[in-house]
Structure 1
Amino acid sequence: MTETTERSPSAFHQHAGRGAFNAAFFAAVGPYLNAAQRRYKGAVFADLPEVVVEFGSGVGANLPYLTPGGTLIAIEPNRSMHARLRAAAARRGVHLDLRERTAEDTGLPDRSVDTVISSLVLCTVTDPAGVLAEVRRILRPGGTFRFVEHVVAPEGTPTRTAQRVLRRPWAWTFEGCSCERDLESAVRSAGFADVEVERYRLHTPFVPFNPQIAGIARA
């Protein structure tokens, strides 16, 4: 499939070593994580339209949910992800409109898209509220934001303790990723017309990452 690429100045400052590590890590671990999340992704990413905007497309973990022959507008500032993302899009027969921009500033027109998706992305952005405002800006009325994200664990639980103890090394390794964000509250307070959220827990060795939510927010 053909591909277009847009680059623009952004607030994302890529670390050469960690950027490459994360691209390799998610390429290797992605199939395992996808298997663990299949039920939840299958529900919220069902029946996607021909054109989808994805924040943090990474190495293409969510391409199997897109329609072959459709278009992915991929907002992915980490250049180390791009080669794998291009290859994955080509294998799936998806046209790739790759934008090396941050999720806070997509460059897309107001009310121009029907669906935005994200998975394991809002944990890493600098300004989650700003990203959600950008989602609302670019969605057409009635459009959907579909998300699968990991979130803060309840206070007093062993997982919450692990999140607190591992906060700094986790964030350093995964380029700012926070395990301590209440993203459900963030989405619910972002001004969407309707929000549906399912809370669940994965059972993986990545303990701080296991509390998760999946949902659909409608503009």
Structure 2
Amino acid sequence: MTETNTTTPTPFEQHAGRGRFNASFFHVMGPYLERSLRDHKSRVFAGLPAEVVELGSGVGANLRYLPHGATLVAVEPNRAMHGRLRDAARRQGVRLDLRERTAESTGLADGSVDTVISSLVLCSVHDPDAALAEVRRILRPGGTFRFVEHVAAEEGTPTRAAQRLFRRPWGWTFEGCSCERDLEGTVRAAGFAAVEVERYRLHTPFLPFNTQIAGTATA
């Protein structure tokens, strides 16, 4: 895939302890989270093409949605995830093009991509507005950004109270993850030609995480 030098890499703190913890956490908890999210992911990620860019590929939870033999351009700054991601790509028969960069500065060329995906990623990027501007920059006209993300709950609800209560320990543990972002509003304000969003709720012990959106934004 064509690269460009028009964006400067956004700094990412490689924290040895938290990085390894998150790689292990998502490896162990991946099957449980996948059961909770499968129906929404299956709808949003249906019919993915033979080449896909993913923001924050982690340990490879979404590889199963790519066709066998596809290429995944994985934008994943956390080195602790890379080993498990490579292993998962081999098992799934997906060619991995791994980029140690951030969502705000992928390094890919303008208008060079048909499809970008993310799941549980925009909650933790340093600058969601910049990340979505980068998605728009690299997408071809008519290309799609497909996403499954967790978002802030409605004001006055127990879930919103829990999100506030656990804000700091949650963010520290999960490397900047925030449960208080209005990501639907952020996507809608990002300048896409069309945005379709489904709101839903999970029922898991991870209460701050349970308010979710899934959808598609078209460039």
TM-score grouping bracket, smaller chain normalisation: over 0.9
Alignment of 1:65-84 (within 5 A): 65-84=65-84
CA–CA distance in structure 2, aligned partners of residues 79 and 68 of structure 1: 25
Whether the 8 Å contact between 2:9 and 2:105 is mirrored in structure 1 is no
- 1:38 to partner: Cα distance: 0.6
Specify the alignment match of 2:184 in structure 1: 184
CA–CA distance in structure 2, aligned partners of residues 72 and 136 of structure 1: 18
- The 1:9–1:132 alpha-carbon spacing in structure 2 relative to 1, beyond 3 Å, is closer
Alignment of 1:55-134 (within 5 A): 55-134=55-134
* 1:39-58 alpha-carbon deviations (Å, 9 max, x no partner): 10000000000000000000
CA–CA distance in structure 2, aligned partners of residues 80 and 99 of structure 1: 13
- 1:10 to partner: Cα distance: 4.2
* 1:69-117 alpha-carbon deviations (Å, 9 max, x no partner): 0100000000000000000000001000000001100000000010000
Specify the alignment match of 2:31 in structure 1: 31
| Aligned length in residues | 212
CA–CA distance in structure 1, aligned partners of residues 74 and 200 of structure 2: 27
- 1:180 to partner: Cα distance: 0.1
Whether the 8 Å contact between 2:10 and 2:104 is mirrored in structure 1 is no
Three-state SS of the structure 2 residue aligned to 1:88 is helix
* 1:108-127 alpha-carbon deviations (Å, 9 max, x no partner): 00000100000000000010
Specify the alignment match of 2:41 in structure 1: 41
Specify the alignment match of 1:146 in structure 2: 146
TM-score norm. by structure 1 comes to: 0.96
- 1:9 to partner: Cα distance: 5.6
Three-state SS of the structure 2 residue aligned to 1:212 is strand
Alignment of 1:199-210 (within 5 A): 199-210=199-210
CA–CA distance in structure 1, aligned partners of residues 99 and 198 of structure 2: 30
Specify the alignment match of 1:4 in structure 2: none
Three-state SS of the structure 2 residue aligned to 1:133 is helix
CA–CA distance in structure 1, aligned partners of residues 104 and 9 of structure 2: 12
Whether the 8 Å contact between 2:153 and 2:180 is mirrored in structure 1 is yes
CA–CA distance in structure 1, aligned partners of residues 9 and 167 of structure 2: 29
Are 1:172 and 2:172 an aligned pair? yes
Three-state SS of the structure 2 residue aligned to 1:37 is helix
Identity of aligned residues (%): 74
* 1:148-183 alpha-carbon deviations (Å, 9 max, x no partner): 000000000000000000000000000000000000
Structure 1 unmatched runs, 5+: 1-7
CA–CA distance in structure 1, aligned partners of residues 55 and 186 of structure 2: 16
Are 1:157 and 2:181 an aligned pair? no
CA–CA distance in structure 2, aligned partners of residues 124 and 79 of structure 1: 16
CA–CA distance in structure 2, aligned partners of residues 68 and 83 of structure 1: 20
